[in-house]
Structure 1
Amino acid sequence: MKLKILTPAVAALLLASCGTQKTASATTAETTSPVKETVKNVALTPELAEGKNLYENSCVRCHKLYDAKKFTQEEWKPILARMQKKAKLDDTQMASISNYITSQL
């Protein structure tokens, strides 16, 4: 009986984890995410686009995406440090995310 319940649950979990990732556009700072924000009309550099992509794909796995302006730069530092372990991101990836968030403040 347990096997009949666990097998579909594992299959559903596997399918959900294999979903497609969003890709960030390197030409505009506009976002299609559900985050309501006033977007700067600044072209994203490839480094900032990578940070945006990491932010959108890593953070949304566990919770909704927050508007960068919701917190100050000082408030973001401990948040990002805490989330780095949970998202299993290395220091380079966290620097990209941090640079992207800072550029949006």
Structure 2
Amino acid sequence: AVVDVLVAKCLAALRHTRLNQLVVAGGVGANRRLRSRLDAELAQRRGRVFYPELALCTDNGAMIAFAGALRLAAGPAQTSTGGEIAVRPRWALDTI
């Protein structure tokens, strides 16, 4: 089910942008079923999918956790300029 959703979203993004080339990276790029489905779908559409080597398709969650551990070990720090950050859930990419 997850692969179906990711494939559908990738194809929708390609249609929206009128592109026929896709780069898949991060931990999800190691998923063989996803690779197979995207390869097949893009081949039907005369497109291409590019992937890093499997050794480079790692979950960045580990990186974020490590960065958080380093920050925690460094102790309290001023991390804000005092300004507010506007959070906009579901911010459409075409408005950025």
Is the TM-score greater than 0.5?
no
Larger Rg computed on CA atoms: 2
Bigger RCO (CA 8 Å, 6+ sep): 1
TM-score normalized by structure 2?
Answer: 0.29
Higher strand share goes to which structure?
2
